[in-house]
Chains A and B, each alone.
Chain A
Amino acid sequence: DAMVIQNPRYQVTQFGKPVTLSCSQTLNHNVMYWYQQKSSQAPKLLFHYYDKDFNNEADTPDNFQSRRPNTSFCFLDIRSPGLGDAAMYLCATSRDKGQQPNQPQHFGDGTRLSIL
C-alpha cells in the first residue's frame, strides 16, 4: 500500500547530541511537511518542502533543519536537542498542484523522541 513511513518509531538521544529522523513516501506527493506535537497539544508545523522549495515557519528554532534529497525522502535534523524538544514528530505529504491547492495531508505514524 502507498504510504508515509517514518523511522524509527521511537528515538532516544542524549541532551545536545545531534539526531536525525527520517520520512519516506510512496505516494509520489510533491509536498512534504514536518510537524512537532507535544503531549496533549495540537501538531505544530515546523517547515515544509513544496517540491524542492523549502519553507520554514517563522517561529521554528534554528536548531531544527531539514533535507529533502529526492521526492521520496525527507529528513529532520535536530542539531543540539534540548529537553524541550522531546515530542512526537510527524511527517506528512500532500499532492498540491496549481489548480488543486490545499489538498489533504497524509501522515506517517510519527517518531516519538525522548531526550536523556
Chain B
Amino acid sequence: AQKVTQAQTEISVVEKEDVTLDCVYETRDTTYYLFWYKQPPSGELVFLIRRNSFDEQNEISGRYSWNFQKSTSSFNFTITASQVVDSAVYFCALSEATYGNKLVFGAGTILRVKS
C-alpha cells in the first residue's frame, strides 16, 4: 500500500534560517514518482519537483534542494535562507506506476517564516 508520512506538522523559523521538511514514503512498487507541492494561503497547489524512483540524484533549484534516499525511503526538502514568502503548507506526494495517475499526499507541513 502507498503511504506518505510528513512527521512535522508545523515548523517556525526566522527569516534567513535554513529549514528541512521531512518526507518518508512506503510503496511496494519498484517504479514510483515523488513530488513536492507548495500551498500558499491563497489556496492553489504549486508544483515544485518530480522525481522518479530510478533517479536518486539530488537536485538544487535556487534556494530549494531535495535529497532523495531510497535506502531510507525519504525525500526531504530543504529551503536555504528562508524568506517570509516561503510561508505555506508543503505537501509531499507519491504516485505508483501500478496505480497510474493517483497522487497520495502526506498530511502536509505548515512552514511559518517570521521576519
| A residues lining the B interface (CB < 8 Å) | 31, 33, 41-45, 48, 50, 55, 57, 88, 90, 92, 94, 96, 101-110, 112
Q: How far is the CB of A87 from chain B (nearest CB, A)?
A: 12
Which of B45, B52, B102 contacts A107, CB < 8 Å? B45
Which of A42, A103, A109 contacts B105, CB < 8 Å? A42
Contacts of A55 in B (CB 8 A): 100
Question: Once the chains bind, are B107 and A92 in contact (CB under 8 Å)?
Answer: no
Q: Which residue of B lies closest to A42 (CB)?
A: B105
Which of A44, A57, A101, A104 contacts B35, CB < 8 Å? A104
Which of A90, A96, A103, A112 contacts B45, CB < 8 Å? A90
Contacts of B46 in A (CB 8 A): 107
| B residues lining the A interface (CB < 8 Å) | 33, 35, 37, 42-47, 50, 52, 91, 95, 97, 100-103, 105-108
Contacts of B50 in A (CB 8 A): 102-104
Question: Once the chains bind, are A42 and B45 in contact (CB under 8 Å)?
Answer: no
Contacts of A45 in B (CB 8 A): 102-103
Q: A41-B107, A102-B33, A102-B95 are in contact. Are A94 and B44 (CB under 8 A)?
A: no
Contacts of A105 in B (CB 8 A): 45, 47, 101, 103
Question: Once the chains bind, are A42 and B100 in contact (CB under 8 Å)?
Answer: no
Besides A31-B101, A94-B101, A107-B37, 14 new A-B residue pairs in contact (Cβ under 8 A), listed by A number? A41-B108, A42-B91, A42-B106, A42-B107, A43-B105, A44-B105, A90-B45, A96-B100, A102-B95, A102-B97, A102-B101, A106-B47, A107-B44, A112-B43
